[in-house]
A and B are shown apart, each in its own frame.
Chain A
Amino acid sequence: MHHTAAALVIEGLTKDFGPVPSLDGRMVRVLDGVHLEAAMGSVTAILGANGAGKTTTLECAQGLQRPTAGTVRLLGENPHHASPRLRARVGVMLQDGGLPPSVKPMALLRHVASMYADPRPVDELAGRLGIDDFGGTAIRRLSGGQKQRLALACALIGRPEVLFLDEPSAGLDPQSRTIVFELIQELRAAGLAIILTTHLLDDAQKLADYVYIMEGGRTVAEGTVADLTAGAAPENFRELRFQTVPGLEIPPGLLPHLHRAEPEPGQYLVSGALTAGDFAALAQWWDAEGILPVSVTMAPRSLEDVFLDIAGRSIR
């Protein structure tokens, strides 16, 4: 891809960990040639299952890990042993938050703010993210969603130009999720480069301008959500789901050109290049079997299908 203003450029990134005693002291290759580019003013999502290498990629980009091979340029600089000047331009929200449990949220936020020459007003940001509601409670007593919001505030307090969010919606209740997603969209509009990891396809579909799919330590596919879901699939690719009694055999002669599955008992999935005639044939079969499904839904190809095609397994 070609961006006008690249915030992050990763080329051929390889990372080995080890030696691992349980593997006779061999090294484990966690990243194996990652390529990634993230533009200013856009949300770049790294999508992958657990263990795909998303967090390690972010840590190399943030300068927390030293790459074994390859190059990382963050705002044109090498992030490993970054200068305070570079670190001031980059906000980081770690997957586990990195919050000290005995400290109170407002005290922590004020402390982090003091590391910057011109931080955002603490009270304003705390109000925006609803942190003032629990600002005096020790961090160890906060819910997962409250901790996530505080970690996000800590990442934003220094007015970063680049924002890294590792699994930003993990542990968020629906209300916090709405607050956080709105803020992310607002920051993108303000011109920030936002780079986030997620294993939730829904997050990527809602937020991302550009998606990288990672699998086995590599970036295996990339594109806008529209590009990826259109892919090589025909215009009339549909996923048809219906719910009824479990254990039905869809007759082999029925819709032979479509993919049929029962991913969960009683949940049936028919996917492929679907016509209205296929739909009618299916309805005839229901009628012959005396079935009236509880629900029937039809949708175009989703990121989940893309992921299944590429990784050969479900993301969950």
Chain B
Amino acid sequence: MTSAAPLARRVLRHGGYEAAAMLRNGEQLVLAVALPLLALAGLVATPLLDGFGPSRIDTAAPGVLALCVMSTAFTGQGIATGFDRRYGVLRFLSTTPLGRSGLVFGKAAAVAVVLALQVVLIGGAAVLMGWRPDLAGLPWAVLTFALGAAAFTALGLLVAGTLRPEATLAVTNLLWIVLAAAGGIILPATGLPAAVEPFVRILPSSALGDGLRAAFLEGSFHPLSCLILLGWAAAASAAAVRWFRWS
């Protein structure tokens, strides 16, 4: 009798397939590699982050890694999922042994693979530019990074599963720009006008930036950031389960 490949193999195969698709896409590469490298160079060359940390690169690098999470998990993955939905790819794949849950886990695995590559590339470039992260904070950084990836993946799926793909493209790109500029991800929320600071602080972008800066700059755990990210991940996942439309 015909049977399915084992679950782990299905998810890993699909993760690899989606990751390859992301890396083949030129726009995606610009978003994933070129823009973070430019941001890193720009932040080191300008005095924007002066006063927030011991050196420009030490303050900039955690924020740029947080930016990578937002581009890959939210914008890139959201747009790809939106178009897969439009073309019926989600419906077709969900009739194969991969199924709906396999599709979602596969997408999460693809996000993880691309993020790992980004950390190596962007983190490596930052080290070459003089970044000296506090390695005592590494476990906390990994935890915060993973929670941020979960929150932004769930948010990307929520947008992709409820809006038309063109709208997903517009919304995720616009949010990426707005959050990158004023979402507390690169420039800490404390550097923003006092009227908006409390609102920005509860955004997943700010929580991810703050959590990574606390870990890499001071080697310390920032529990509030993790709680905020966990809250966003839980709320967005629940909303996606409730409202995601497969066709």
Contacts and interface: CB of A to CB of B under 8 A. Distances in A.
Interface of A: 62-64, 82, 84-85, 87-90, 92, 94, 96-103, 111-112, 114-118, 151, 154, 158-161
Contacts of B21: 100, 102-103
Given A115-B4, A118-B2, A158-B2, A64 B94 contact: yes
Contacts of B95: 62-64, 87, 90, 92, 94
B13 A111 contact: yes
B1 A64 contact: no
Given A64-B247, A88-B4, A92-B95, 10 more contacts: A87-B96, A89-B2, A94-B95, A96-B88, A101-B87, A115-B5, A115-B14, A116-B3, A158-B97, A160-B2
B16 to A, nearest CB: 9
Contacts of B242: none
Contacts of A96: 87-88
Given A64-B247, A88-B2, A100-B87, A115 B94 contact: no
Given A102-B25, A111-B17, A114-B9, A88 B3 contact: yes
A170 B98 CA distance: 27
Contacts of B6: 117
Contact of A98 (B4, B13, B14, B92): B92
B144 to A, nearest CB: 33
A87 B101 CA distance: 13
B246 interface: yes
A98 B2 contact: no
Given A64-B95, A96-B88, A100-B87, A115 B2 contact: no
A125 B181 CA distance: 52
Given A100-B84, A102-B24, A112 B96 contact: yes
Interface secondary structure of B, over-half rule: helix
Interface secondary structure of A, over-half rule: loop
Q: List the 3 closest A-B pairs by CB distance, nearest first.
A: A98-B92, A98-B88, A84-B4
A98 B3 contact: no
Contacts of B13: 111, 114-115
Contacts of B89: 98-100
A117 B2 CA distance: 8
Contacts of B99: 82, 84, 87
A94 B88 contact: yes
A103 B21 CA distance: 8
B93 to A, nearest CB: 7
B192 interface: no
A118 B2 CA distance: 7
Interface string B236-247: 000000000011
B92 A89 contact: no
B92 A154 contact: yes
B177 interface: no
Contacts of A100: 21, 84, 87, 89
A63 B94 CA distance: 9
A85 B4 contact: yes
Contacts of B88: 94, 96-99
Given A98-B87, A115-B97, A158-B97, A85 B3 contact: yes
A96 B10 CA distance: 24
14 contacts: A64-B246, A84-B4, A84-B7, A87-B97, A90-B95, A100-B87, A101-B87, A111-B17, A115-B4, A115-B5, A115-B13, A115-B98, A117-B3, A160-B2
A96 to B, nearest CB: 5
Contacts of B25: 102
Interface string B17-38: 1000100110000000000000
A151 B95 CA distance: 13
B10 to A, nearest CB: 5
